[in-house]
Amino acid sequence: MKKKTVRFKETVGIDIGSHSVKIVHLKKLHEGFKLLNYEIRPTVPTGIEYIPSDLRPERFAPVIIEMLKTLRINPKSIKHLVTSIGGDNTSIKQIKTIFLPEDELESALFFEAKKHIPISGTDMVLDYQVLSVEEKTNNMNILLAATSKDVLNEHSNILVSAGLNPNLVDIDSLAVANSFALNAFAEDGVYVLLNLGAHRSNMVIWGPDSKLFARDIPYGGYNFTRDIMRRRQLEWEDAEKHKLEYGLLDNPDVANVQTISMLDISEKSTEDSIVDEVRRSLRFYVKEAGNSDFRKLYLMGGTAKLKGLQEYIQDKVALPTELFMPFINVEMPEKFQDKKDPQLALAIGLAMRME
């Protein structure tokens, strides 16, 4: 039975991050989209130190309900809602397989996924997309996305508790790639996308004709604040303020406090840990995909705005590095012109997803 294509004029993307929720409301135009509104709201109390593992999923629904009220969106009226999941029990891999008819493909892919994806078979929820069929060999290039039933259920529960109907659920790194593919002038070559969150960052390597690679890096804004606390002997609230104002740079008005922990070389800085992970992934990609045509590294997400980070990464990874603003195909009303924010990249990638 052929699926009926749903016609929708408006679309909502919700990025439920570990620290904050981002909601983007777009109107579909004949070409591209128009931004109707957006909202970013933290789910973690400002100025109070917290332990990530103590954060409960119940904190999200009340925040989403309030945000939808502020945006004047009735949850029941949303025709096209796209959200995403990420973290340990989600995985995405591009694989090559012999050509198979559709009725055989799914069971073959399930078997294949077990080899590639670290989620136990009984607990796995699998989705796939055929990217291309090679003319000469008839081999299929397929993108596999997998998660566990628990992750999907927890995510659905958050949405249902907020009065929403879980519609399309993407994987974070795919939404990042989508945001870039729909909002960048990428001609040839390969691009490195780094979506820097609060507790983890999505790294995606993408190119118009290249193999897709995605992985999560277990560092983010939270770790930068912890570094500042340690180095400067500050409490959480003051460390957060310092981070937002100076980023990786020094406060010119304060003498630098050399502490024993600063001299402890066993403690790597967060920026160094991120750079190490990026370099390792690039080496792995060159070996796996046989392609080293890296053109640019784009930073997105809330932590991307950290002063000094862009220059630091560019210097250490030796790739031109820029902040990614995901608004090429999104018409921006005047009131949003000076409020463009790289933190919206994932939510925009979700809202722009069509099928």
**Residue 230: count of CB within 10 angstroms of its CB:** 16
Whether 122 maps to a domain, the answer reads: no
Q: Are residues 196 and 318 in the same domain?
A: yes
**Residue 43: count of CB within 10 angstroms of its CB:** 20
Q: Are residues 163 and 203 in the same domain?
A: no
Q: Are residues 57 and 84 in the same domain?
A: yes
Whether 118 maps to a domain, the answer reads: no
- CATH value at residue 211: 3.30.420.40
Residue 201 structural domain: 185-323
**pLDDT for 12-51, tens place per residue?**
999 999 999 999 999 999 888 999 999 999 999 889 999 9
Q: Are residues 175 and 229 in the same domain?
A: no
Whether 311 maps to a domain, the answer reads: yes
Q: Are residues 201 and 81 in the same domain?
A: no
Report residue 166: phi and psi, to 5°. Answer: -60, 120
Whether 114 maps to a domain, the answer reads: no
Mean pLDDT of the chain: 91
Instruction: Indicate whether 1 pLDDT > 90.
Output: no
Q: Mean pLDDT throughout 217-245? A: 95
Give the residue from 194, 345, 210 showing the smallest Cα distance to 277.
Answer: 194
Supply the pLDDT for residue 41: 97
**pLDDT for 143-182, tens place per residue?**
999 999 999 999 999 999 999 999 899 999 999 999 999 9
DSSP-assigned letter for residue 250: -
Strand ranges in the chain using DSSP code E only, listed in sequence order: 10-16, 20-28, 33-42, 81-85, 90-97, 124-133, 140-148, 168-171, 190-196, 201-206, 213-217, 294-300, 321-323, 330-331
Query: Which residues 6+ apart lie within 8 Å of 354 measured at CB?
Result: none
Supply the pLDDT for residue 255: 62
Residue type, 189: G
Supply the pLDDT for residue 294: 97
Q: Are residues 158 and 200 in the same domain?
A: no
Half-sphere exposure of 195 (CA within 13 A, CB side): 29
Q: What's the predicted TM-score (pTM) here?
A: 0.91
Q: Are residues 28 and 162 in the same domain?
A: yes
Q: Are residues 279 and 223 in the same domain?
A: yes
Residue owning tokens 């640019």: 296
Whether 98 maps to a domain, the answer reads: no
Q: Are residues 296 and 342 in the same domain?
A: no
User: What is the number of structural domains in the chain?
Assistant: 2
Supply the pLDDT for residue 354: 81
Using CA atoms, how far apart are residues 255 and 201, in angstroms rounded to an integer? 32
Of the pLDDT bands very low, low, confident and very high (cuts 50, 70, 90), residue 256 is: low
Give the residue from 26, 35, 23, 28 showing the smallest Cα distance to 6.
Answer: 28
Of the pLDDT bands very low, low, confident and very high (cuts 50, 70, 90), residue 2 is: very low
DSSP-assigned letter for residue 258: -
**pLDDT for 211-220, tens place per residue?**
999 999 999 9
| Composition of the chain by helix, strand, coil, percent to 5 | 40, 25, 35
Whether 109 maps to a domain, the answer reads: no
DSSP assignments along 101-116, one per residue? -HHHHHHHHHHHHHHH
Q: Are residues 169 and 189 in the same domain?
A: no
Instruction: Indicate whether 249 pLDDT > 70.
Output: yes
**pLDDT for 183-197, tens place per residue?**
988 888 999 999 999
Using CA atoms, how far apart are residues 220 and 168, in angstroms rounded to an integer? 26
CA distance readout (Å), 84 to 153, 167, 186, 270: 12, 10, 24, 26
Whether 142 maps to a domain, the answer reads: no
**pLDDT for 317-341, tens place per residue?**
999 999 999 999 999 988 888 788 9
Are the C-beta atoms of residues 117 and 124 closer than 8 Å to each other? yes
**Residue 355: count of CB within 10 angstroms of its CB:** 7
209 three-state secondary structure? coil
Q: Are residues 314 and 222 in the same domain?
A: yes
Supply the pLDDT for residue 119: 79
Supply the pLDDT for residue 264: 55
Q: Are residues 291 and 273 in the same domain?
A: yes
Whether 133 maps to a domain, the answer reads: no
